[in-house]
Amino acid sequence: MHAGTRRLVRERASERCEYCRLPQSALPLARFHIEHVIARQHRGGDGPGNLALSCHHCNLHKGPNLSGVDPQDGRIGRLFNPREDRWEEHFETRGLLLLGLTSTGRITVSVLAMNSQAQLEIRRAAGLIY
């Protein structure tokens, strides 16, 4: 990947994970990943329109997934797409927790384990009580 593309993705995201919104400054020794929103194995491209900045936790939990099961109604639905969706429409913050407002939000919170103990501890240590 070209340095210019990496820089564009990082700047566009304001150095925050585009899934959980954790700032890079909260984990200065672990550089965030530039990930494929739609994985290459699903024919996702390498252009900026398919790339997102992701913390290690979100990226490793997301993997190549495009969908998951809504914990509220058990239906299969899609994950949040930071290139097409508005974060505020799908999520809200409450204290240290990230809550899904829509099926897409709930599925993403669940699949990416956004409220795992590890993520809560990182948010607490970074002073990110919303």
Write out pLDDT tens, residues 13-71: 999 999 999 999 999 999 999 999 999 999 999 999 999 999 999 999 999 999 999 99
Q: What percent of the chain has pLDDT over 70?
A: 99
Would you give the DSSP letter of residue 129? -
Is 130 domain-assigned?
no
| Residue 49 structural domain | 3-125
Domain count for the chain: 1
Instruction: Give the integer Cα–Cα distance in Å for 67 and 129.
Output: 28
What pLDDT does residue 14 have?
A: 98
- Separation CA 59–CA 125 (nearest Å): 21
Average pLDDT for the chain = 96
Per-residue pLDDT band for 128 (boundaries 50, 70, 90) equals confident
Measured between alpha carbons, how far is 13 from 76 in angstroms, rounded to an integer? Answer: 28
Residue 74 has pLDDT above 70, yes or no: yes
Taking CA 83 as the corner, what is the angle to CA 57 and CA 20, rounded to the nearest 5 degrees?
30
> Taking 80 as the threshold, does the pLDDT of residue 86 lie above it?
yes
Q: 114 lies in a domain?
A: yes
> What is the reported pLDDT for 129?
72
Q: Is the pLDDT of residue 1 over 90?
A: no
Domain for residue 48, yes or no?
A: yes
Distance CA 21, CA 80 (A): 13
Entry pTM? 0.94
Q: How far apart are CA 6 and CA 37, in angstroms?
A: 14
Of the candidates 12, 99, 92, the one whose C-alpha atom is nearest the C-alpha of residue 54 is 12
Residue 29 lies in a domain: yes
Q: Is residue 130 over pLDDT 80? A: no
Counting residues of the chain whose pLDDT is more than 90, the rounded percentage is 94
